[in-house]
Amino acid sequence: GENVEQHPSTLSVQEGDSAVIKCTYSDSASNYFPWYKQELGKRPQLIIDIRSNVGEKKDQRIAVTLNKTAKHFSLHITETQPEDSAVYFCAAVSGGYQKVTFGTGTKLQVIP
């Protein structure tokens, strides 16, 4: 089955700096890679996603890159703000009915 590794498990950055979270996956059949943000006590919510036919996607301060050959994908947050503090999960999705495997999560702390 799919195995998704996520690093780092915790990340502290100064407000305004960039944050990068990296994930690797094992199943070459995975073709959809969403990223979720989970604030304390809340539900995970999608922030950005990328499909396997695309190498990079940007949405304002958030970008995701995908390297299919190396089987890794990354989340980049620029100009971090305190409200970016949360746990971030990557995921890899394969199969017609979306077998979703989540990474282990990264707790991001943005220090004002």
What are the residues binding another protein (CB under 8 A)? Answer: 32, 34, 38, 42-46, 49, 87, 89, 93, 96-102, 104-105, 107
Q: 71 or 99: whose CB is closer to another protein? A: 99
With CA atoms as reference, report the closest residue to 68 among 83, 89, 54, 78. 54
Sign, Cα dihedral of 50, 101, 85, 74: negative
Q: 27 or 49: whose CB is closer to another protein? A: 49
Q: Are the C-beta atoms of residues 20 and 84 closer than 8 Å to each other? A: no
Q: Are the C-beta atoms of residues 91 and 5 closer than 8 Å to each other? A: no
Q: In whole angstroms, how close is the CB of 49 to another protein at the nearest point?
A: 6
Quickly count helices (H) and strands (E) in the chain: 0, 11
Q: In whole angstroms, how close is the CB of 51 to another protein at the nearest point?
A: 9
Q: In whole angstroms, how close is the CB of 57 to another protein at the nearest point?
A: 13
Q: 89 or 110: whose CB is closer to another protein? A: 89
Q: In whole angstroms, how close is the CB of 92 to another protein at the nearest point?
A: 12
